[in-house]
A and B are shown apart, each in its own frame.
Chain A
Amino acid sequence: MQNWRRNKFAFSVLFLPPAAWLVIFFTLPLAIVWVYSFGARGPLGEIILDWSAVSLGNYARSLEWINLEIVAKSIWIAVVATAICIGLGFPLAMGIAFASPRYRNILLLLVILPFWTNLLIRTYAWIAVLRERGHVNFALEWLHDTINGGLAVLGLPALLGAFEPLQLLYNQNAVIIGIVYVNLPFMVLPLYATLEKLDRSYLEASLDLGAGQWRTLFSVTVPLSLPGISTGVLLTFILALGSFLTPDLLGGPDSIMIGNLIAQQFGSARDWPFGAALSFLLMYATFIILWVKAMVAKREGGSAF
């Protein structure tokens, strides 16, 4: 790593344009909303920013028990979804990274392709798959009837009773399936980017020195791909935490997540200051996690992300 002073010109050319874009079109607007977060909601949903109204009230309210409950549930769902994403995504990324170069791009494209359909449409497609009269239950019913029919042919009594469709929708599991589906590429892409550039001679060495495939996987491949894993976990977790459409459409009556709560403040509740405060608390929390991670990484001499 170079000190930027050694090459001020190159550093400026690389760093300033994207940084300026983010300052103007991200930090600046966010600063406006940050100011809102200290305001109060007027009776019609206006934002009151008088000195008399300015307070930390919205932040205090964010820490009310009911909101913390929602946060805790959201974190739990995000953790489970992220774990499943790793479980599915790591082998997927590995399969792509170790495929012959000819197939890599095609496989990569196949991972991305489903995400070029709109999120709402994809979620509706999941509804069609999971509902009582959905594709999964239709398939199970067919299987069920076939078995019963087969038994009947053999002159045996039907072992299985009448088919009861599985209740796959409108519960926490459906929400998790939906979130995993939506966020899988955010796990796979960084993992792939890391695995693909992995110096394979380390793996060769491990295998040559007698370690089995599993040991090589867990003692060499996984540690070497930690930067990709942590990027993927971070992206997936953060995005999962902010989900709101998925719990809205696939969840049951108690599937509210922090993203829904925030969306409601900017929507029907018309409480932009409270919505802003909730958003910023979520951001501060993530900021701290990122910062701690960077510190730890620095101490270990590795890369931060």
Chain B
Amino acid sequence: MMNRIKAGRVTRRDFLVGAAAAGVAIGAHSRIARSAEEKKLNVYNWDTYIGETTLSTFTGSTGIEVQYDFYANNDELFAKLKAGNPGYDVIIPSDSYVADMISLDMLMAIDHGKIPNLKHIDSDPNFSNPPFNPGLKYGVPYLWGTIGIGYRKSKVENPDSWGLLLDSDKYSGRIALMADARSVMGLALKYLGFSMNSQNQAELDKARDLLIKQKVHIKTFAEDNGQDLLLSGECDIVMEWNGDIIHAAEEDDDVGYVVPKEGTQVWIDNVCIPVGAPHPENALLFLNHLLDPQVNAEIANTIKYATPNKAARELVSPEDLANPAIYPTPEVVARSESLVSVGEFTPAYDKAWTEVQAA
């Protein structure tokens, strides 16, 4: 790692030196313990983003105690690990974050030989060879899904376009968008016929102007609670993660989820091992455990997200498999995109988003 830094990425040396130093310090410590790694594992994940028995079956079969800690979003995870790994063994970042973490040497390459269950991953290149993590070198896919329109069936008829949220006064005052810069800007771009990952300033300006114009009809940019707005009757049509709306629909028959005709953002969360993990061997065991068809199906059945694990899908409830909100059709996926890092263009997105919020 030190060599790679010396090899010339001078511009971010100052940042990396700190990160590397912290990493090396923790790494050195763990190397001593490697021969007989202590029976511990520090997992860093969202709360309730795991099966009910996942951890207990892991401890049961390996004797490794799991310390489970929480973050609330990818940005928090990224910020927390940016200065050096404070001691986590397993983290679950989303697609574009995985790419950035790889570029910043924040993730450890995983030894595929130690994860026999890797063979269960769907051979679809979206899962087995995703652009953000070629060859699954730095992690394995965990769960995936979409962003779509959550709506109240009795109030909204057949919402087939992002235009109802982004370019229409039909549901004025009953609309909530998400509060995520890249996703909202991206879907506005998508509605206008551009790529969600556009790096064209003129396209971005059009998306920004569209959102600014629509603001009078938007109730709020919801902080990951669009499903609550829908359930409480505050809004009739919201932009949300599929899982949130699926859970809402379980409680209220009048709630529906649909991916509009323009396509949408597809996301994949991944299980990765951050550089400097104190228990990397245990972490590999845990990755393998998560890919076990039984374990994986239990997770999918508990939290109602789509699994990229083909063997596990055999064990997932048929009802879920048939639900297009959980498992979108291949056509929907084909129309959609994943977010990728826009690199130098990121500040343009943030500026446009600030302008949207301040307007």
Of residues 180 through 196 on chain B, the ones whose CB sits less than 8 Å from some CB of chain A are 180-182
What's the nearest-Cβ distance from chain B to residue A8, in Å? Answer: 39
Contact (Cβ within 8 A) A131 B232: yes
Q: Name the contact of A268 in the complex, choosing from B181, B223, B225 (C-beta under 8 A).
A: B181
Asked if B220 lies at the interface with its beta carbon under 8 angstroms from chain A, I say: yes
Q: In the bound complex, do residue A49 and residue B354 qualify as a contact, i.e. CB atoms below 8 Å apart?
A: no
Counting CB contacts under 8 A, is B166 at the interface? no
Does B347 have its Cβ within 8 Å of any Cβ on chain A?
Answer: yes
Q: Does B332 sit within 8 A of A, measured CB to CB?
A: no
With the chains together, A251 CA to B222 CA distance in Å?
Answer: 9
**Number of chain A residues close to chain B: CB under 8 A:** 40
Residues of A within 8 Å of B233, CB to CB, are: 132-133
Among residues of A, the one whose C-beta sits closest to the C-beta of B75 is: A267
Asked if residues B15 and A49 are in contact (CB atoms below 8 Å), the reply is yes
CA distance A199 to B332 in the complex (A): 75
B357 beta carbon closer than 8 Å to chain A: yes
* Among B6-14, B61-69, B107-115, the stretch in contact with A: B6-14
Q: Which residues of B contact A50 (CB under 8 A)?
A: 10-11, 13-14
The SS class assigned to the B binding surface is helix
Q: Does B301 contact A (CB under 8 A)?
A: no
Question: Of A66, A67, A69, A249, which is within 8 A of B223 by CB?
Answer: A249
Q: A133-B232, A252-B220, A270-B346 are in contact. Are A44 and B104 (CB under 8 A)?
A: yes
Which residues of chain B have C-beta atoms less than 8 A from A136's C-beta? none
Give chain A nearest CB distance to B332 CB in angstroms. Answer: 26
For window 199-219 of chain B, which residues contact chain A by CB distance below 8 Å? 215, 218-219
Residues 28-44 of chain A, each 1 if its beta carbon lies under 8 Å from chain B, else 0: 00000000000101111
C-alpha gap A133/B223 in the complex (Å):
19
B44 within 8 Å of A (CB atoms) = no
Does residue A53 face the partner (Cβ distance < 8 Å to B)? Answer: yes
Q: How many residue pairs, one in A and one in B, have C-beta atoms under 8 Å apart?
A: 105
**B12-A46 in contact (CB<8A):** yes
Let me know if A266 is at the binding interface, CB within 8 A.
yes
Decide: A253 and B215 in contact? CB cutoff 8 A: yes
Q: Is residue B358 contacting chain A, with contact meaning CB distance below 8 A?
A: yes
Say whether B358 contacts A254, CB under 8 Å. Answer: yes
- Which A residues lie within 8 Å of B78 (CB)? 45, 270
- The smallest C-beta distance from B195 to any residue of chain A, in angstroms, reads 18
**Cβ contact of B215, chosen from A53, A248, A254, A260, cutoff 8 A:** A254
Query: B359's closest neighbor in chain A, by CB?
Result: A254
Contact call A253/B357, Cβ cutoff below 8 A: yes
Q: Mark B339-358, 1 if CB is under 8 A from A, else 0.
A: 00101101100100111011
- Residues of chain A contacted by B357 (CB below 8 angstroms): 253-254, 256, 260
**How far is it, in angstroms, between the C-alpha of A238 and the C-alpha of B95 when the chains are bound?**
38
Distance in angstroms between the alpha carbons of A261 and B358 in the assembled complex: 10
How near does chain B come to A66, taking the closest CB pair, in angstroms? 5
Given A45-B78, A248-B223, A249-B223, is A269 in contact with B347 using a C-beta cutoff of 8 Å? yes
The closest CB in chain A to the CB of B82 belongs to A45
Seen from chain A, the residues whose Cβ lies within 8 Å of a Cβ on chain B are 39, 41-50, 53, 66-67, 69-70, 127, 131-134, 167, 169-170, 248-249, 251-254, 256, 260-261, 264, 266-271
Which B residues form the contact surface with A (CB < 8 A)? 10-16, 73, 75-76, 78-79, 82, 100, 103-104, 173, 177, 179-182, 215, 218-221, 223, 225, 228, 232-234, 341, 343-344, 346-347, 350, 353-355, 357-359
- Show 26 residue pairs from A and B whose CB-CB distance is below 8 angstroms, ordered by the A residue: A39-B14, A41-B347, A42-B11, A43-B346, A47-B12, A48-B11, A49-B14, A50-B10, A50-B14, A66-B355, A67-B354, A132-B232, A132-B234, A167-B173, A251-B220, A252-B220, A253-B177, A253-B218, A253-B219, A254-B358, A256-B354, A261-B354, A264-B354, A267-B75, A269-B181, A271-B350
Name the 5 nearest CB pairs between A and B, nearest first. A267-B75, A256-B357, A46-B12, A269-B350, A49-B14
